[in-house]
Structure 1
Amino acid sequence: MTGAARATPQPIFAAEGFAKRFGETEVLKAAAVQARPGRVTVLLGRNGSGKSTLLRCALGLLRTETGSVLWRGRATLRPRISRMAPEGLFFVPDRGLAVPPQRVGPHFDSLRAAYPGVRKLEDWDPLNVAPFLGARIRQLSTGERRRVELTLALLRNPACLIADEPLTGLAPNYRSVVTRALRDAAQGGSAVLITGHEVECLMAIADEVVWIVAGGTRVLGPPEQAWAHPEFARQYLGRRRPLANPWGGSEPGLPGRESDRGEEGDGQGEAGRRVSGWVARAGRVWLPLAGSAAAVWFAVRVSVAMVGAAAGVSSSFEMRSSLPLVALCVLLTGIDHRRRGAARWFDNLGMGRGARVLIWGLTCLALEFLATAAAALLP
């Protein structure tokens, strides 16, 4: 293996040949981007150039005309965040990762339950979000909400971190903390792929710059080559000139990152840790999903009972259409789940749409069975 091959690791995540059209407008045509372990890749482009669209297409959030994704050496035409998240991917969208009606604290509890090896907030709080733990996400300002979402991503310490506009809404002092943390994550072996318009901040930590223009992408190489690229400088940078790396070419690591990818043994056996992990996941991830379905089922059941009482129909009417009613409850739960903006968060916890529908359906079926059994026992 040559020295150049050793210096450039194989990508853990690669999106190739993506095209996307919105009506008559062609946003992407043969766009591509990669994320390599130990490197920070910055995707730059004007507003509306397709940066977010490319990421969403590559993560399966938007349907595309063409394109494929290579994840950990496996090619797929139908990528899903929920399938890649348990294997080390974490996606921070430009908005809407945290669930607005939910409090901040349960987000960290759910992350810990889904991935037991993550760092605890009480051990490392780089963006000072501990004061927000009791507040609901919708009560926070845009900058505070962004700090919570980025802290979740940094505590996860994923093998591949994809963040869309991570610095938007942050005060300058927190921008410097985030950029240093992203650089440090790459030094620890993570593949970091980010977008944004804060050129000086992002270029200071970048290993590779990709420019998206006219629906396609151009790999400009390291920042010094990107700054010197005449077309990039004229069309995107304008009269900007490169700034010196604020860390003098060496980015000091943040404390304790060596332990992020695992925990020291605490005397508990492997079987015990596995059982406790499943219990935590059930309580913090599965139970909230089941609870939302149970609330919808109860509301539907009460409505059916009221309609039956108003029409003078016997109580047996209430138990007659169990399966259609379960399907209705699952549909309404999905609509409520989407309304609350919870899909992206549960995707990152490894709970895809199919798993969520399964939990909702089983919950409603169990409640239907219990209600039917109780009605049969009552006089």
Structure 2
Amino acid sequence: MIPTVHITEVIKRYGRNTAVSGVCFALNAGEMVALIGHNGAGKTTLMKLMLGLLRPTDGSIEVLGENPAAGQFSARRHLGYLPENVSFDTALTARETQAFYARLKGEPVAKALELLDVVGLGAAAARRVGTYSKGMRQRLGLAQALIGRPRILLLDEPTTGLDPELRQTFYDVVQRLAAEGTTVLLSSHALTELEERAGRVIIMNRGFKVADGSIDKLRNLAQLPTKIRLKVSGLAPGELPHWLPSFAPCRRLNGHVVEIDAAPEQKIELLRHATAAGTALEDVDVIPPNLDELYAQFLRQAERMP
């Protein structure tokens, strides 16, 4: 498979400050990838390098087979971009704004205007953008980014200001595009949203890539414990089941719930103990490390590196 984006040993410096340090990764058609990291980790810089808005200090970037830093970057018309802070001419209506970007991109205006309904702005399309709330401007930014069914979609904090219903609509649209072959790169601090939807996560820290893979792969690498919650009847207050192995750190939660921290290779053995002991087991929940916990773990590991 030929990647739609190929980044090789990319470095970006601003004077003495290094925003991106030797980053390598490839993105493929149909992938939905989460790019996460603290403010200043290099996420937005990477997106701007892909767009050709910045030139790398060193290393190489290919986007749809072209160099974004070259003078002629025809692949740009196949890219959609939603910046973290969208800005439009406040005197124009949403329809006028969308028509302007469609003509700029060489796409049919009528199809671009249909996107206003997709993002929930159909009823407000004739209003001036200056009257829009932050969430409405964010939706207009998404409609602009979707013009021309882009082959690559770069989204920087795309759900900022969106209510839960519109957030779900946004992800429905983006997931449909990915299913049809669009490469989607999402940068967001809303890690719970990304965990449910991204097939792959790239973690950045101070300009370095510190992890890259599916959630399952990151869990295997991080080796964080899985929480196993058992609802056990017949326990006295503060009592723990007698059958718990000594290697399983555990605690009592509210009521009859016992929570155990299990290493990845211990999960099955612990569940065997729980079901074979003749205990009045009423319910079991297995809770693997979430993306927030994985992110914190990889950053801790990165900080310990020399």
Report matched runs for 1:1-379 at 5 Å.
Answer: 9-74=1-66, 76=67, 78-79=69-70, 83-86=74-77, 88-96=78-86, 98-113=88-103, 114-116=106-108, 119-122=111-114, 125-230=117-222, 236-237=295-296
Equivalent position SS for 1:20: strand
Q: Equivalent residue for 2:273?
A: none
The alpha-carbon deviation at position 102 of structure 1 amounts to: 2.8
The alpha-carbon deviation at position 213 of structure 1 amounts to: 1.5
Instruction: Please tell me the residue identity of whatever aligns with 1:51.
Output: K
- Quickly say closer, same or farther: Cα 1:118–1:40, change in 2 above 3 A: farther
Equivalent position SS for 2:146: helix
Q: Once the two structures are aligned, what percentage of the paired residues are identical?
A: 25
Q: Say what the alpha-carbon RMSD is for the aligned residues.
A: 2.9
- 1:203/1:223 contact within 8 Å kept: yes
Equivalent position SS for 1:19: strand
Question: Structure 1, residues 72-125: CA drift from partner, whole Å, max 9, x if none?
Answer: 223x26157963233x11222112353444321112223444212973544872
Question: Structure 1, residues 105-160: CA drift from partner, whole Å, max 9, x if none?
Answer: 11222344421297354487232112332223233221110011112223532111
Instruction: Please tell me the residue identity of whatever aligns with 1:50.
Output: G
Instruction: Please tell me the residue identity of whatever aligns with 2:20.
Output: L
Show structure 2 runs of 5+ residues with no match: 224-290, 298-306
Q: Quick one: distance in 2 between partners of 1:144 and 1:138?
A: 10
- 1:179/1:202 contact within 8 Å kept: no
Q: Quick one: distance in 2 between partners of 1:106 and 1:136?
A: 9
Instruction: Please tell me the residue identity of whatever aligns with 2:69.
Output: R
- Quickly say closer, same or farther: Cα 1:24–1:35, change in 2 above 3 A: same
- 1:220/1:229 contact within 8 Å kept: no
Q: Quick one: distance in 1 between partners of 2:84 and 2:201?
A: 19
Q: Quick one: distance in 2 between partners of 1:125 and 1:36?
A: 29
Show structure 1 runs of 5+ residues with no match: 1-8, 239-379
Q: Quick one: distance in 1 between partners of 2:73 and 2:88?
A: 16
Equivalent position SS for 1:125: helix
Question: Structure 1, residues 310-341: CA drift from partner, whole Å, max 9, x if none?
Answer: xxxxxxxxxxxxxxxxxxxxxxxxxxxxxxxx
* TM-score w.r.t. length of structure 1: 0.54
Structure with higher helix content:
1
Q: Quick one: distance in 1 between partners of 2:127 and 2:71?
A: 31
The alpha-carbon deviation at position 176 of structure 1 amounts to: 1.3
- 2:10/2:61 contact within 8 Å kept: no
* TM-score w.r.t. length of structure 2: 0.65
- 1:118/1:155 contact within 8 Å kept: no
Equivalent position SS for 1:108: helix
- 1:51/1:212 contact within 8 Å kept: yes
Structure with higher strand content:
2
Q: Quick one: distance in 2 between partners of 1:157 and 1:118?
A: 14
- 1:227/1:233 contact within 8 Å kept: no
Instruction: Please tell me the residue identity of whatever aligns with 1:197.
Output: H
Q: Equivalent residue for 1:265?
A: none
- Quickly say closer, same or farther: Cα 1:207–1:123, change in 2 above 3 A: closer
Instruction: Please tell me the residue identity of whatever aligns with 1:179.
Output: Y
Q: Quick one: distance in 2 between partners of 1:16 and 1:117?
A: 37
- 2:116/2:140 contact within 8 Å kept: no
Equivalent position SS for 1:175: helix
Equivalent position SS for 1:176: helix
- Quickly say closer, same or farther: Cα 1:233–1:90, change in 2 above 3 A: closer
Equivalent position SS for 1:156: coil
Equivalent position SS for 1:38: coil
Equivalent position SS for 1:119: helix
Instruction: Please tell me the residue identity of whatever aligns with 2:98.
Output: F
The alpha-carbon deviation at position 197 of structure 1 amounts to: 0.9
